[in-house]
Structure 1
Amino acid sequence: MYPDTVMDRIVANSLIDVHRAKAIKRRQLASNTLTVDAEMKTLLLLCCLAVAVYCGCNDNVESTLDKFRNREIDAEAAELDGDELINYVNNNQDLWRAKKQRRFTSVYGENDKAKWGLMGVNHVRLSVKGKQHLSKTKDLDIDIPENFDSRDNWPKCQSIQNIRDQSSCGSCWAFGAVEAMSDRICIASHGELQVSLSADDLLSCCRSCGFGCNGGDPLAAWRYWVKDGIVTGSNYTANSGCKPYPFPPCEHHSKKTHFDPCPHDLYPTPKCEKKCIADYTDKTYSEDKFYGASAYGVKDDVEAIQKELMTHGPLEIAFEVYEDFLNYDGGVYVHTGGKLGGGHAVKLVGWGIEDGIPYWTCANSWNTDWGEDGFFRILRGVDECGIESGVVGGVPKLNRVSARLHRHHRRHVHHSDIDN
């Protein structure tokens, strides 16, 4: 019996060891499970906190924007002008600063026709026809950052940094167009093509665009780029390119006086000259043209505008200009007082948030003496003054340009070989 008893004990002990091992393994599995559960719960908590913060920020922004939606300007404030308007703006809000601009006071004085003639857009919002061909970038699935600035995103493209001067001509619609087109050519070519398209060529030769110095249509300007093309041309002072701007810059702001005052009346629209200036011998007028591959409107939606800007670069936008905007001296503009004067077109370069206030960043064509070194910011998200309802753009046709530049290069090499 003894051997059996010993054997029984051995078997029993072995079984006990097996049970102990299983128990230890179960405890280890339970511990690992608890660790994994704890990690998952921590991760889930962090995600919830992130979502809560994001939603909280969005709720705060929406709450802020709600104060500006469908607001009405006080009837008396709408009739103010001059110092009374400036004082009213500065005393009744703290988003932006107003300051008397010599450009719009002592130069034009009571000549409202000339002053408002600078606002050369009759219809700031896209037409029904314009809405039938909208940019497809609105359907892209891309992350939209809180802040975006084309000047920083495409630092190789100098044209994005530039501020032009439309002088005393209602050519804002042409300037907003050629500025954004120039930027988009550079961006699409990855910085290889640095050009400045001619505001004069578009202004004087596009019959379908409108009335030259007396105003035009932004979308028609982009369609002209596709159909007829636009040559190069700098501002008046640089006098470079095929067709530089014919009108000199003028003083737009009292804090700097390195430009002469604007004339009291608008310049007449220049004659359409389909030839380059005598000093420009690089290419002929037809050889110098850049073309667009497409022209379109952009959906009147903040995210749609942001996606298009991030994908292809600066855009042309139109909005309503009131008396108080003329006195803008920095900050995030919100219409506060003064009468409606006209429609204006500018270049959109980015967006951001300052102290919980979302804004668009735009380049104006009133020289660097005005606003924030020629740029301005305006409230984003409530279609302030129609700023989100009249956005247009297009894509450049680079293959044609590349082929032309290649032919031009070969021709110069051939002449060089002959000379040698």
Structure 2
Amino acid sequence: SCPFSKCFQSLWKCSKEVCLVRQDLIQHINSGDYGWKADNYSQFWGMTVEEGFKKRLGTFPPSHSLLNMREAPGKSLPEEKFPAFFAATYAWPDWIHDPLDQRNCGASWAFSTASVAADRIAIHSEGQITDNLSAQNLISCDTRNQHGCNGGSIDGAWRYLKTHGVVSYACYPSFWNDHLGPSGENHCYVSSEYGKNYTNGPCPNALEESNRLYRCAPHYRVPSKEADIMKEIMDKGPVQAIMKVYEDFFLYKEGIYRHSQRAGSKWKTHSVKLLG
């Protein structure tokens, strides 16, 4: 039996690559006692596991400097002090931004950073500033040791937000460069100078007038204890997390995810926004 076949010059050839969507794995998870359910997603049809890892994730493992960063000081709360349920979307309903589709662009480093930053700015400004921020601005312009849709680091993204700032999503929408063809895909279409609050030119999206730049204070690390993360989210809003993704995570539908052994031991890192 051939796990995966590809068409080479009108001939089908067997390939050792494993498909991202495997019906046997979906059935195994759904009939087992894993605490979560799997589903079959058509957008992953025809993709190999390697392609899923490469195109759908895109955050480098945390660097030594990130792992050794001093944790933000704060008073811990005993677990019984927390409500049974808390979600940032309920606490700040108009200020939390929906996730954007990163498509087949391995740049979760940019999407998760922009989304957490936008939420934090809205909460901190008490709703004065509610613009979603441009992940594309990071992907196209934050190129120092970053690799756009081929992955990047979250600490680099936060540094860029602090020094350069980014425009709103409306000003520089995701995948705006795509219509320009291969020559324009990796080009940065906003330029800014250190300390300036506006870009040097108009928005790439001509329908948006505001070319304002949004910046963040230096990033910090939240202690790894669950109670400390919970307190941080309740007090200040969503946080960013790096997680290991195994191939079965691409099948996740609902429940509390845990890795099923049958899915193999290969994993890559991904970054996400934690809401509650």
> Deviation at 1:172?
0.9
> Deviation at 1:178?
0.6
Check the 8 A contact 1:184/1:313 in 2, yes or no: yes
Map 1:300-339; keep pairs closer than 5 Å: 300-336=224-260, 337-339=262-264
> Deviation at 1:151?
0.6
Unaligned 5+ segments in structure 1 are: 1-78, 234-240, 249-267, 351-420
Separation of aligned partners in 2, 1:189 and 1:205: 26
Check the 8 A contact 1:99/1:327 in 2, yes or no: yes
Check the 8 A contact 1:315/1:348 in 2, yes or no: yes
> Deviation at 1:306?
1.3
The one-letter code sitting in structure 1 at the alignment partner of 2:171 is C
Match of 1:88 in 2: 28
Asked if residue 273 in structure 1 is aligned to residue 189 in structure 2, the reply is yes
Separation of aligned partners in 1, 2:185 and 2:226: 35
Q: Secondary structure at the match of 1:330?
A: strand
Separation of aligned partners in 1, 2:255 and 2:187: 39
**What TM-score do you get using the length of structure 2 for normalisation?**
0.78
Asked if residue 347 in structure 1 is aligned to residue 263 in structure 2, the reply is no
Separation of aligned partners in 2, 1:165 and 1:278: 18
Q: Secondary structure at the match of 2:144?
A: helix
Match of 1:174 in 2: 110
> Deviation at 1:278?
4.9
1:318-360 Cα offsets, whole Å, 9 max, x none, are 111111110111111111131324211111000xxxxxxxxxx
Check the 8 A contact 2:66/2:155 in 1, yes or no: no
Q: Secondary structure at the match of 2:220?
A: strand
Greater CA radius of gyration, 1 or 2? Answer: 1
Separation of aligned partners in 2, 1:147 and 1:209: 39
Check the 8 A contact 2:35/2:257 in 1, yes or no: yes
Check the 8 A contact 2:173/2:205 in 1, yes or no: no
Separation of aligned partners in 1, 2:231 and 2:109: 23
Q: 1:209 to 1:168 in 2, by over 3 A?
A: same
Q: 1:92 to 1:278 in 2, by over 3 A?
A: closer
Asked if residue 114 in structure 1 is aligned to residue 30 in structure 2, the reply is no
More helix by share: 1
Check the 8 A contact 1:167/1:247 in 2, yes or no: no
Asked if residue 154 in structure 1 is aligned to residue 65 in structure 2, the reply is no
Match of 1:283 in 2: 210
Q: 1:165 to 1:209 in 2, by over 3 A?
A: farther
The one-letter code sitting in structure 2 at the alignment partner of 1:273 is Y
Aligned-residue RMSD, C-alpha: 2.8
Match of 1:375 in 2: none
> Deviation at 1:105?
2.3
Separation of aligned partners in 1, 2:214 and 2:176: 23
Match of 1:197 in 2: 133
> Deviation at 1:231?
0.8
Separation of aligned partners in 1, 2:116 and 2:205: 27
1:121-140 Cα offsets, whole Å, 9 max, x none, are 220x463444323223x435
Match of 2:146 in 1: 210
Asked if residue 145 in structure 1 is aligned to residue 71 in structure 2, the reply is no
**What TM-score do you get using the length of structure 1 for normalisation?**
0.52
Separation of aligned partners in 1, 2:120 and 2:220: 14
Map 1:117-128; keep pairs closer than 5 Å: 117=54, 118-123=56-61, 125=62, 127-128=64-65
Separation of aligned partners in 2, 1:81 and 1:200: 28
Asked if residue 133 in structure 1 is aligned to residue 57 in structure 2, the reply is no
1:356-376 Cα offsets, whole Å, 9 max, x none, are xxxxxxxxxxxxxxxxxxxxx
Q: 1:278 to 1:183 in 2, by over 3 A?
A: closer
1:3-35 Cα offsets, whole Å, 9 max, x none, are xxxxxxxxxxxxxxxxxxxxxxxxxxxxxxxxx
Match of 1:396 in 2: none
Check the 8 A contact 1:130/1:296 in 2, yes or no: no
Separation of aligned partners in 2, 1:81 and 1:291: 40
Unaligned 5+ segments in structure 2 are: 1-18, 178-183, 191-200
Aligned length: 239
Map 1:218-233; keep pairs closer than 5 Å: 218-233=154-169
Q: 1:153 to 1:209 in 2, by over 3 A?
A: farther
Check the 8 A contact 1:316/1:346 in 2, yes or no: yes
Separation of aligned partners in 2, 1:133 and 1:105: 43
Q: 1:199 to 1:105 in 2, by over 3 A?
A: same
Q: Secondary structure at the match of 1:298?
A: coil
